[in-house]
Amino acid sequence: MSVFPFVVVAWILFVGLYGVVTSRHLVHQIVCLIVVQSSTYVLLLGVGYVTGAVAPYFYDVPVHTPAVDPIVQALALTDVVVEAAVTALLLSFAVQAHKRFGTLDPHELVSLKG
């Protein structure tokens, strides 16, 4: 159990990147990018976990009860916002790309090269 969550993190990163590299449709590719990013949430929350500890909320739990790390949770929240922001922007590019190129296959979305 002590490394299993991190193996899952590495696996999610790998399949996510595989998806980005092999995708033939921009929206599909953007979804794969979301998967890549999701590996970071699992990693963040995984490194801050303390076995047996409570969530860092002390509304109905006495203060100073051992709790898991609140910092990584705050970082993961920021991460979720970044995900939403980048995805929205990429999707707006995809909409315009579809208008200009008539396709969303990354291999055909080429205007400048060399």
Site residues for another protein, window 62-101 (CB under 8 A)? 63-101
Tokens 């051992």 locate to: 66
Cα(102)–Cα(45) distance, integer angstroms? 41
Smallest gap from Cβ 11 to another protein, in A, equals 5
Q: How many residues bind another protein (CB under 8 A)?
A: 109
Smallest gap from Cβ 94 to another protein, in A, equals 6
How far CA 64 is from CA of 46, 53, 55, 100, in Å, comes to 21, 11, 12, 58
Query: Is the Cβ–Cβ distance between 103 and 28 less than 8 Å?
Result: no
Smallest gap from Cβ 88 to another protein, in A, equals 5
The site map against another protein for 8-47 (x = CB under 8 A) is xxxxxxxxxxxxxxxxxxxxxxxxxxxxxxxxxxxxxxxx
Largest distance between two CA atoms of the chain: 64
Helix (H, G, I), strand (E, B) or coil at 54: strand
Smallest gap from Cβ 10 to another protein, in A, equals 5
